[in-house]
Amino acid sequence: MIKPCAVFWDIQNIDVPKGQTVDSIVDLIRSTVIKPYNLYEISFFCVYDAHKSPANFDHSLTNLDFLTYNGVKDSADMKIIDLMRKFVKVAGQDCTIILLSGDGDYYGTLIELKKLHDVSIHVIKLSASCSPKLDQISDYTFMLANGELKPVKATANPTYFISILNQYSVNNFNELANELNALAVGSIGNSAILCGNLICIGFPTLGNAEQAIEQLNESQFHEQSSKVEFDSQLRFK
């Protein structure tokens, strides 16, 4: 099922990284988040101070709604919060908000929209610059670094599973599951389950699962090569 989504970029909180442009970041979000997570883009808002253009500010190629604010403290937050509410009112239940910000001031509005309208929340952050409150409320969290968007947390229900042959001399399954869950980038937190002699780990998208298979098959875990494959029998509808 395709979900409508809107992107809200607080560009004063998360500036355009050095060596990147607005266009490149927008393309990255569309190719790494919107398309793989089966979302349909309704709006893409970029909010910035009218008196201070962000660094590397070039948006000649992108189809965005650029909105300015007057530089007064918290005015960007208030504008984005108003846009979020208007989007959810139009999109209805079970839509998706993608937020580029590490500002905890959005927490109250996001948790309200999540409870009342079952809104899914994707947070895109920079390293060490995100409020713990946003990490708590997000369904999916991504790290923007070195021209890449990497999933670092997911708490939604898994859609795809990979299976790993349990050949490791670890007595405590929970310990083993937690290690593998953390090692498999993009996996759903605490999704690892034991299926006979296999350890199965859940992912939100097929692309996440495929990347983890490649990553784990190329790595050494407890001094052994991993034997990892896609588990089609555990795919959830």
CATH code for position 65: 3.40.50.1010
Task: Taking the CA atoms of 94, 98, 103 and 105 in sequence, report the sign of the dihedral they define.
Answer: negative
Residue 34 near residue 74, CB atoms below 8 Å: no
53 pLDDT higher than 70: no
Distance of CA 85 to the CA centre of its chain: 20
Arithmetic mean of pLDDT, 23-34: 91
Output the pLDDT for position 235.
Answer: 47
Do 122 and 197 lie in one domain? The reply is no
Output the pLDDT for position 58.
Answer: 59
Do 114 and 225 lie in one domain? The reply is no
Per-residue confidence band for 61, with pLDDT thresholds at 50, 70 and 90: very low
Domain count, the chain: 2
Give residue-wise pLDDT tens across range 126-181.
Answer: 876 778 888 889 999 999 988 888 888 788 778 888 988 877 766 777 788 888 88
CA–CA distances in Å: residue 38 to residues 31, 32, 204, 215, 234: 11, 11, 10, 23, 19
Q: d(Cα 88, Cα 45) in Å, to the nearest integer?
A: 14
Spell 214-225 as b/e; 16+ CB within 10 A means b.
eebeeeebeeee
The residue assigned the tokens 């610059």 is 129
Output the pLDDT for position 178.
Answer: 81
Give residue-wise pLDDT tens across range 179-220.
Answer: 888 888 788 888 888 887 888 898 888 888 888 888 888 877
Output the pLDDT for position 40.
Answer: 94
Q: d(Cα 120, Cα 138) in Å, to the nearest integer?
A: 8
59 pLDDT higher than 60: no
Best mean pLDDT range from 48-57, 179-188, 222-231:
179-188
Q: d(Cα 38, Cα 163) in Å, to the nearest integer?
A: 23
Q: d(Cα 172, Cα 219) in Å, to the nearest integer?
A: 21
Kind and range of the H or E run holding 96: strand 96-100
Q: Which of the pair, 237 or 5, is modelled with greater confidence?
A: 5
Do 166 and 136 lie in one domain? The reply is no
Range of the domain at 215: 160-234
Residue 167, token pair as written in the block: 């050949």
- For every residue of 131-178, DSSP letters joined together read -HHHHHH-SEEEEEETTEEEEEEE-SPP-EEEEEE-----S-HHHHHH
Output the pLDDT for position 127.
Answer: 73
Residue 52 near residue 70, CB atoms below 8 Å: no
Do 138 and 38 lie in one domain? The reply is yes
Do 127 and 216 lie in one domain? The reply is no
Do 99 and 14 lie in one domain? The reply is yes
Q: Which has the minimum average pLDDT: 32-36, 43-47, 180-184?
A: 180-184
Q: Which of the pair, 166 or 40, is modelled with greater confidence?
A: 40
Do 60 and 171 lie in one domain? The reply is no
Task: Taking the CA atoms of 127, 130, 135 and 138 in sequence, report the sign of the dihedral they define.
Answer: negative
Do 209 and 130 lie in one domain? The reply is no
Do 170 and 226 lie in one domain? The reply is yes
Do 90 and 181 lie in one domain? The reply is no
Do 144 and 170 lie in one domain? The reply is no
Spatial strand order of the sheet with 193-195 comes to 193-195, 198-203, 160-165, 228-230
Give residue-wise pLDDT tens across range 89-114.
Answer: 999 999 999 999 999 999 999 999 99
Do 206 and 221 lie in one domain? The reply is yes
